[in-house]
Structure 1
Amino acid sequence: MASEKKDGYRKNFSLILTFIILMSVLFLLSLVLAYRFSTKYIENEFVSEKVNVLEQSIQPYNDFFQKKLPEVSFYNGYLDSATAAAFVDTVLLEYPFVSKVVFYDSEVSNTPVSDGLNTGKFSFGPKNIYQFGSLVPLDSVRLFSRDNTSSFIVGDDFNTLALKLVSFIESLDTTQVPGQDALFSNFSNVRSNKITYLNIPRFEDLKVYKEMLRKQLQPNPVYQQDMMSFQLDPYKIKIINTQPLLYQYVKIAPLTYDPLDTTAVYLSTEINLPGPFSDYKLYFISSKSFIEREIFSYFLPIALAILFFYGILVLVAVLIYRNLNINQKMFKLQYDFVNNLTHEFKTPVSVIKIAGNNIKSASSLTDRELKLYGKILDEEADKLNGLMNKLLAFTQIENKAIELNRDKIRIIDFLESTVETHRLKHPDFDFTYEVSGFTTFVTDPVLLGSLFDNLAENAYKYSPPERKQLHITAKLAKGKVVFRFTDKGIGIPASEINNIFKKFFRIQNQYNQNGSVGLGLAFCKELVNFMDGEITVKSKVNKGSEFKIVLPYNDY
């Protein structure tokens, strides 16, 4: 039995150790894979999220290009220097990347101009040119006028857009109104760090422009056209870092910017700016230690989720193992119970059978032999009856199939009867009692007797021959009857204290070799519970045990 128990322990320990190792390996592998996934994800985000930074940073330019520029057309060419200055002030205030604006107060006519563009009978030239900006001196605002043509050369900005205007007019289909996209693209010019915009005339005016290319109109028509050239500074674009945990530093740099190789320490990426800023790029750079903090921040919730999942998995495994272990123990206990119960029944049955055969085979029996066999048959029959009664009573109490009979008893008489019974049964049993605080109380005498008999039998059975002693104290305390059964037996190991009241449980020791059903103390526990009381035990190995029973006190 000991070797089987040891082999079972080793087997269970090996299974537990294997399970722990397997779960640990899977847990560590999951963490490694999760960290690699987090690293790859953050690195991909580092490359892809630059688009969002670009979109947010360039959004003011998009608003300027799509909303503010077309406002020039609202004036239909009748902007003057004061109105243009007020318009430019709002531009400079709202869009700090606009550094300077040149305003061309121009006109279209059939009369050739000395400064401007002349094509056929069509002429387009400035009357006045102004420049506005925070760094422009007040005495330098006006750059050109027809009265002072030597102070400024019209230059490429004006001529380029003038040529686009003429080309558009030449190809214009006067039977169909051109779309807004076509108008906008032909009346604006985007160059590096500069946007030039010409107010879009009415469709009827465009028809007249087309006629002016071919012939002289009478009277000589004159149309006002306003052109503005916006000089842009890409370094004034406000960078909006939408991912500050990814990008440690973001700056605008020329396309030709190529830093030294820092891949061992830093991660970097870049994206080109659009439109007039196409010669520049957004340059992103972060130290690897900075990125690792973001990787860890992303990895930590995943690791906690994995830990939580594996915690649940381990808990389920432990519960399954615990249930299997309990079932195994219950099976063993029931198996031992059947074996011991068989033994308990077999012994008196065998004795009865032997006595019966002796009586049957004997030709004649003396009076002494008849009394002996009668006594044997009577005692063994009592054993069988007592065992069956105990099993039946245990089942009835457990299923609450009986009712509690309440009778008033004299506690001294009850204890005296119990002591005398056990002294007669075991002459070497030193059985004493002591009562204080009450003389009578109401209880079920049969159940109380069964309880006392079980504890007394255990005290005698599990005590060495020289210490077969039991002392019972009965005391009334705080409205409760307290019984203490104190013996000097072999004691109960501390590790088994919580198990002794379980059904079929038996402590393996030298006094238990002949088998025991394992119902005695479990029966006592059920009895006490049925009587609305409680039972506890204190014990020291080789010193003895004390069972304490507390029952409700009633005297009526």
Structure 2
Amino acid sequence: MASEKDSGYRKNFSLIVTFIVLISLVFVLSLFLAFNFSKKNIENDFVSAKANVLEESIKPYNDFFLNKLQEISFYNGYLDSATATRFVDTILRDYPFVSKVTFYDTEVKNIKYEGYGVNAGDFTIGMKNVYQFGHDVPKDSIKIFGEDETRHLLKPGDFNTLSLKLITFIQKLDTTKVPSPEELFSNFTNVQTNRIDYFNIPSFELLKTYKRMVTTKLASNPVYQLDMFSFELDQTKIKIKNTRPLLYQDVRIEPISYDPLVTSSDNITGEITLGGPFSDYKLYFISSKSFVKKEIFSYFLPIAAVLFLFYGVLVLVAFLIYRNLNVNHKMFKLQYDFVTNLTHEFKTPVSVIKIAGNNIKSATSLTQREQQLYGKILDEEADKLNGLMNKLLAFTQIENKAITLNRDEINIEDFIESTIEVHKLKHPDFDFTYEIYGFKTFIADPVLLGSLFDNLAENAYKYSNEGQKKLHITARLIKDKVVLRFKDAGIGIPSSEINNIFKKFYRIQNRYNQNGSVGLGLAFCKELVNFMNGEISVRSTVNKGSEFKIVLPYINN
């Protein structure tokens, strides 16, 4: 039966080892796949995250182009130099990439314009005054053109280009349909490299009037105000917002044609065009492979931690299963040995009783000496059976706290003397000595204390060689504690077994246990001491003896 159990245990242990090996292989494979996934993901991010850096970096420009420019139309062409100055100041302050602004104070007339301007028939877009603004513009050069001035620094090319574009739009305008905002914006705006020119957008009714002015000479000779701004842009003043500083080591603006002469294999590069008036430039991204590898590991490590946690849980489960199997195996062995030894313990006195009974039964007559002998045998063997059953019953009761702890006054000297007398009668070769220090009486349960003394005395006798069957008992009062020491000269306990001797059903394998031992003696002692709110410990040296130390609370009347 035991071999079958051992075989099953070994089989289960092999299955657990196989399980751990398999999950370890899966764990290593998962780490490998997770690292490759992290690497691929970061490499894809290097490509895709460029768009986010571009979007964040040109967000101020988009705000300027889509929102700020259109504020010019709110003035309906009636901006003067003072208002234009305040408007431009906000632009130069809020949008550092705008390096210079030229303001054209313009008129739309229904006559051919003699000065600077663009004509289409009797429709004319002409300049009255032109001002320039910028951090590098001298204060005496703000006004660069005026109708009443002969000196000017005017270069009307940008004005003429956008004016012609506007006139072309008016000539093709379908006055039966309102143009869309996008159509108006694109025709009143001219985007060039590092420059944006913008006319304020008039109402649709005014556009229809412009349409009539192109084809007809109106009797009223109307004059309308129109404003144009020309913004010079500097791409170097765009503030790059690196949204992935752990991915892109360096981001800079370079010409679209920029191509480094030396490209290191240790670097990863990428680029994306700025677009719009900056379409001749690009964002250039460069990172060393070692720099990107840090980002890969920062992405990989949390995944690895989760995998490791999951792996640890599986290993813990396997360990707990193994531990339970091991405990069950030990418990089975202990119970098997207990049943075997208990059977032997019961079988011996039962066999002796049966033999004595048969002898009495078969004898025709018994002498007085034979009657006394058989009576003594029956009485002793019955006492053995009774003592064994009482120990088992007491152990179970104490373990389940099913008995009440009695508190009687005990004279320690008388108690030790009585213990010595009992064991000297049973074992005349047993050498007993004792010492008492610091007290004479204390309160304890005499039955439980007697069982404790008896078990330790029996062990001292049983596990000692002939001529060495000695026991020295010391009773000492130390700081409100009764300290009892039982020192023998027996065979001792190996250090590897010290932690096991107080376990139930546990037996040290030696020649003294070959004839049967239930393995309850010291476990019973530990339960007794615990029940009396005390502590028990042991020190032992092989072939020199053991010393059991018991500490009990000192209670006195």
Identity among equivalent positions (%) equals 72
* 1:282 partner amino acid: L
Q: Are 1:119 and 2:117 matched, yes or no?
A: no
Deviation at 1:484, TM superposition (A): 1.2
Q: Which residue of 2 aligns with 1:398?
A: 399
Q: Which residue of 2 aligns with 1:101?
A: 101
| 1:419-443 Cα distance to aligned partner (Å, 9 max, x none) | 1211111111112222233333332
Where do 1:385-424 residues align within 5 Å? 385-424=386-425
Deviation at 1:19, TM superposition (A): 6.1
Q: Are 1:469 and 2:473 matched, yes or no?
A: no
* 2:535 partner amino acid: E
For 1:543 and 1:440, the matched residues in 2 are separated by 32
For 2:512 and 2:315, the matched residues in 1 are separated by 41
Structure 2 vs 1, CA of residues 467 and 139 (structure 1 numbering), >3 Å: closer, same or farther? same
* 2:96 partner amino acid: P
For 2:526 and 2:133, the matched residues in 1 are separated by 102
* 2:173 partner amino acid: L
Q: Residues 116 and 154 of structure 1 are in contact (CA less than 8 Å); yes or no, is this contact kept in structure 2?
A: no
Q: How many equivalent pairs are there?
A: 556
Structure 2 vs 1, CA of residues 409 and 234 (structure 1 numbering), >3 Å: closer, same or farther? closer
Deviation at 1:156, TM superposition (A): 4.6
For 1:552 and 1:233, the matched residues in 2 are separated by 92
- Greater shift in the superposed pair: 343-352 or 131-140: 131-140
Deviation at 1:511, TM superposition (A): 0.8
For 2:486 and 2:147, the matched residues in 1 are separated by 129
* 2:109 partner amino acid: S
- Greater shift in the superposed pair: 301-310 or 324-333: 301-310
| 1:26-72 Cα distance to aligned partner (Å, 9 max, x none) | 44433333322222222222222212211111011112112221222
- Greater shift in the superposed pair: 71-80 or 423-432: 71-80
Tell me the TM-score normalized by structure 2: 0.91
Q: Residues 144 and 154 of structure 2 are in contact (CA less than 8 Å); yes or no, is this contact kept in structure 1?
A: no
Q: Residues 158 and 197 of structure 2 are in contact (CA less than 8 Å); yes or no, is this contact kept in structure 1?
A: yes
Q: Residues 410 and 441 of structure 2 are in contact (CA less than 8 Å); yes or no, is this contact kept in structure 1?
A: yes
Q: Which residue of 2 aligns with 1:206?
A: 207
For 1:414 and 1:143, the matched residues in 2 are separated by 126
Structure 2 vs 1, CA of residues 508 and 2 (structure 1 numbering), >3 Å: closer, same or farther? farther
Deviation at 1:142, TM superposition (A): 4.8
Deviation at 1:371, TM superposition (A): 2.9
Q: Which residue of 1 aligns with 2:355?
A: 354
SS at match of 1:421: helix
Q: Are 1:56 and 2:56 matched, yes or no?
A: yes
Q: Which residue of 2 aligns with 1:554?
A: 555
Deviation at 1:143, TM superposition (A): 4.8
For 1:124 and 1:253, the matched residues in 2 are separated by 38
Structure 2 vs 1, CA of residues 8 and 435 (structure 1 numbering), >3 Å: closer, same or farther? farther
Q: Residues 143 and 152 of structure 1 are in contact (CA less than 8 Å); yes or no, is this contact kept in structure 2?
A: yes
Q: Residues 16 and 318 of structure 2 are in contact (CA less than 8 Å); yes or no, is this contact kept in structure 1?
A: no
For 1:368 and 1:380, the matched residues in 2 are separated by 18
Structure 2 vs 1, CA of residues 178 and 7 (structure 1 numbering), >3 Å: closer, same or farther? closer
- Greater shift in the superposed pair: 347-356 or 168-177: 168-177
Where do 1:127-526 residues align within 5 Å? 127-137=128-138, 141-146=142-147, 156-260=157-261, 262=263, 264-526=265-527
Structure 2 vs 1, CA of residues 179 and 524 (structure 1 numbering), >3 Å: closer, same or farther? same
For 1:284 and 1:555, the matched residues in 2 are separated by 88
SS at match of 2:58: helix
Q: Residues 124 and 162 of structure 1 are in contact (CA less than 8 Å); yes or no, is this contact kept in structure 2?
A: yes
For 2:442 and 2:83, the matched residues in 1 are separated by 114
For 1:513 and 1:235, the matched residues in 2 are separated by 96
For 1:435 and 1:96, the matched residues in 2 are separated by 99
Q: Which residue of 1 aligns with 2:73?
A: 73
| 1:284-342 Cα distance to aligned partner (Å, 9 max, x none) | 11111111222223333333343344334333332332222122211211111111111
- Greater shift in the superposed pair: 25-34 or 494-503: 25-34
SS at match of 1:485: strand
SS at match of 1:467: coil
* 1:421 partner amino acid: V
For 1:401 and 1:512, the matched residues in 2 are separated by 31
Unmatched 5+ stretches in structure 2: none
SS at match of 2:546: strand
Structure 2 vs 1, CA of residues 129 and 514 (structure 1 numbering), >3 Å: closer, same or farther? same
- Greater shift in the superposed pair: 519-528 or 434-443: 434-443
Structure 2 vs 1, CA of residues 12 and 429 (structure 1 numbering), >3 Å: closer, same or farther? farther
Deviation at 1:258, TM superposition (A): 2.3
- Greater shift in the superposed pair: 539-548 or 28-37: 28-37
* 2:95 partner amino acid: Y
Deviation at 1:345, TM superposition (A): 0.7
For 2:228 and 2:41, the matched residues in 1 are separated by 49
* 1:449 partner amino acid: G
| 1:50-101 Cα distance to aligned partner (Å, 9 max, x none) | 1221111101111211222122223322334454344333323322222232
Deviation at 1:543, TM superposition (A): 1.0
For 1:284 and 1:372, the matched residues in 2 are separated by 109
For 1:94 and 1:429, the matched residues in 2 are separated by 107
Q: Which residue of 1 aligns with 2:29?
A: 29
Unmatched 5+ stretches in structure 1: none
Deviation at 1:153, TM superposition (A): 7.7
Tell me the TM-score normalized by structure 1: 0.91
Structure 2 vs 1, CA of residues 533 and 87 (structure 1 numbering), >3 Å: closer, same or farther? closer
| 1:195-247 Cα distance to aligned partner (Å, 9 max, x none) | 11011123332222122122111121111211122222222211121222111
Deviation at 1:381, TM superposition (A): 1.3
* 2:107 partner amino acid: E
For 2:484 and 2:140, the matched residues in 1 are separated by 116
Pairwise CA RMSD: 2.9
For 1:446 and 1:155, the matched residues in 2 are separated by 123
